[in-house]
Amino acid sequence: MADKLCAIGQAITLSPGVELPSGENEHRLVYIASGAAKLLVQESPGTPRAGPAATSSGPARHVMGFHFPGDIVSLQRRGEGGSSLVALSETDLLVFSADEFLDVAQDDPAVLRSVLIKSLESLQRTRTRMMRLGHQTARQRVAGFLISMAKRLCGCTHGECEFVLPMGRGDIGDSLGLTIETVSRQFTDLREEGLLSTSGRSLVALPDIDALKNEAGA
Amino acid sequence: MADKLCAIGQAITLSPGVELPSGENEHRLVYIASGAAKLLVQESPGTPRAGPAATSSGPARHVMGFHFPGDIVSLQRRGEGGSSLVALSETDLLVFSADEFLDVAQDDPAVLRSVLIKSLESLQRTRTRMMRLGHQTARQRVAGFLISMAKRLCGCTHGECEFVLPMGRGDIGDSLGLTIETVSRQFTDLREEGLLSTSGRSLVALPDIDALKNEAGA
DNA sequence: CGATCAATTGACTTAGCTCAAAGCATGTGG
DNA sequence: CCACATGCTTTGAGCTAAGTCAATTGATCG
């Protein structure tokens, strides 16, 4: 089974800032083997972005979320709300055509079922996150973001923790519906309260994740 | 196939304001046959809500979205982020245990596959909506909401349209991450600009959906 | 025809955005 | 190995959209 799946998967390595080539207008499933990536939505369809210097600028970036090794991402390229995947660091991917994947998986209902369950769970998580975006303050969003990163990047859910954030403040802000400046100010506040410390731009340490959770709660 | 599915589905009718009884802590799929319902998330786990007068008040309501005939809703009851379904009007449902449903559907990979595709699409829609909630103004959200309702309640995507909103301003606000007052003010503004007219609390008319779309865009 | 609850309107407050100017990292060339 | 340049981050000042509190109007039902 795994052999058959691997046979139709295409291994790709992306350098930081590079977008996964969009192939045809087909629905794809991407398994992230290593690295880190952000999932974007195309707001403006007319963004050629021909040059190699895709400095991630542009009129309206919209980061939907971040993905790390082990994640499976569904990439739908349906005109307006189409999504794309951009590497944050050196990233290894395994790309499947959704159709081919399902054809192969069809022989094994258990696989199909587990993918379905996984995607329903993902839906639930996204819903919960959506609801929160509508009702939380900047502080709660940033605290929640840090907790989530601690969990996903080094598996920590309690006590202290240290990790490298692969994305910049701008991407964090976009994913939380905040501006760069607001994210930075929240970082500063948390730093002054001893809930966070940083060195360089991307190394962060959380001395007390449980205390942070109090800040993230409603 | 359809017979087998119907055999394990339980038909339930809910009166306005009534929550679908939560059964056990299992994952359920609900098909909406008629009426209208809102999908909520439980924020505070310790809400007994024993009395019959569940007047939908409480500390923090969180409306995730609205559902209408034809929709299939995945209800996951996993402690914190568990969801529940509350009828807005007299509503007929068909409730499935997710496990039983999948057991039966397993015989027919095509069904499983189509449910998977549907849920991936739903995920995509939710993601897009989430992203928008983070970046849109109150006016854009309300305009977008009205357009979405026109489409879902009477299939209109152009020209003019009239329909009954089954939910109150509070539910609308919650689902958009706005307050009752802000929703009301946006309604007033749109009314004064001739983009909307209302009679009573719940009958709305959209004279020009296309003009509304301009207001909803980024 | 009132009672009750939802919707509207108003006055005020504030969280977060915008615009603008420094301060630092990181990487490159001498 | 150090100086410089670029771009990310931080900080500041002012503004605005939306929230809060409070009162009024309007709708719906007994």
Domains and CATH numbers, chain A: 2-130 (2.60.120.10), 137-216 (1.10.10.10)
Q: Could you tell me if A49 and A93 are in contact, meaning their C-beta atoms sit under 8 angstroms apart?
A: no
pTM above 0.85, yes or no: no
- For A136, list phi and psi in degrees, rounded to 5: -100, 155
| Chain centroid offset of residue A184 CA | 20
Q: Could you tell me if A144 and A132 are in contact, meaning their C-beta atoms sit under 8 angstroms apart?
A: yes
Q: How far is the CA of B181 from the C1' of D25 (A)?
A: 14
Closest among B174, B147, B3, B177 to A177, alpha carbons compared: B177
In this prediction, residue A2 carries a pLDDT of 62
Instruction: Classify residue B68 by burial, with Cβ atoms within 10 Å: 0-12, 13-18, 19+.
Output: middle
Q: Could you tell me if A96 and A72 are in contact, meaning their C-beta atoms sit under 8 angstroms apart?
A: no
CB-based contacts of B153, cutoff 8 Å, min separation 6: B68, B163, B164, B165
Q: What string of DSSP letters covers A73-128?
A: EEE---GGG-EEEEESSSEEEEEEEHHHHHHHHTT-HHHHHHHHHHHHHHHHHHHH
Question: How confident is residue A88, by pLDDT bands cut at 50, 70 and 90?
Answer: very high
Poorest-pLDDT segment among B71-75, B165-169, B201-205, B211-215: B71-75
Which nucleotide in the DNA or RNA is closest to residue A200, CA to C1'? C25
Find residues 178-217 of chain A whose CB sits inside 8 Å of chain B: 178
% residues pLDDT > 70 (chain A) = 87
In this prediction, residue B7 carries a pLDDT of 79
CB-based contacts of A133, cutoff 8 Å, min separation 6: A141, A176, A177, B130, B133, B134, B177
Task: Give mean pLDDT, residues B165-179.
Answer: 94
Q: CA A178, CA B174: separation in Å to the nearest integer?
A: 20
- For A43, list phi and psi in degrees, rounded to 5: -90, -55
Question: How confident is residue A27, by pLDDT bands cut at 50, 70 and 90?
Answer: confident
Q: Could you tell me if A64 and A40 are in contact, meaning their C-beta atoms sit under 8 angstroms apart?
A: yes
Question: Which nucleotides of strand D are protein-proximal, with an atom < 7 A from a CB?
Answer: 8-13, 17-22, 27-28
Q: What is the nearest CA distance from B122 to chain A, expressed in angstroms?
A: 8
User: Can you list the positions of beta strands (E) in B63-216?
Assistant: 63-67, 72-75, 83-87, 91-97, 161-164, 197-199, 203-206
In this prediction, residue A151 carries a pLDDT of 94
The rounded mean pLDDT for chain B is: 84
Higher-confidence residue of B62 and A89: namely A89
Q: Could you tell me if A148 and A156 are in contact, meaning their C-beta atoms sit under 8 angstroms apart?
A: no
The neighbour count for residue B161, using CB atoms within 10 Å, is: 22
The neighbour count for residue B155, using CB atoms within 10 Å, is: 9
Nearest to A177 among B124, B125, B135 (CB): B135
Q: What is the nearest CA distance from A190 to chain B, expressed in angstroms?
A: 22
DSSP state of B204: E
Question: How confident is residue B55, by pLDDT bands cut at 50, 70 and 90?
Answer: very low
Q: CA B25, CA B76: separation in Å to the nearest integer?
A: 8
Instruction: Dump pLDDT digits (tens) for B106-157.
Output: 777 777 777 777 777 777 778 777 777 778 899 999 999 999 999 999 999 9
Q: CA A106, CA A104: separation in Å to the nearest integer?
A: 5
The rounded mean pLDDT for chain A is: 84
Give CB contacts under 8 A, 24+ apart, made by B191-197. Answer: B195/B143, B196/B146
Q: CA A140, CA A129: separation in Å to the nearest integer?
A: 12
For helices B138-154 and B169-176, angle between their N-to-C axes, nearest 10 degrees: 110
Find residues 103-132 of chain A whose CB sits inside 8 Å of chain B: 106, 109, 112-113, 115-116, 119-131
Instruction: For the sheet with A72-75, list strands across it.
Output: A10-14, A91-97, A28-34, A72-75
B80: nearest CA in chain A? Answer: A128
Instruction: Dump pLDDT digits (tens) for A159-191.
Output: 999 999 999 999 999 999 999 999 999 999 999
Which nucleotide in the DNA or RNA is closest to residue B181, CA to C1'? C8
Nearest to A106 among B76, B113, B120 (CB): B113
DSSP state of B19: B
Identify the top-confidence range among A50-59, A78-87, A113-122, A197-206. Answer: A197-206
Instruction: Dump pLDDT digits (tens) for A97-112.
Output: 988 888 887 777 777 7
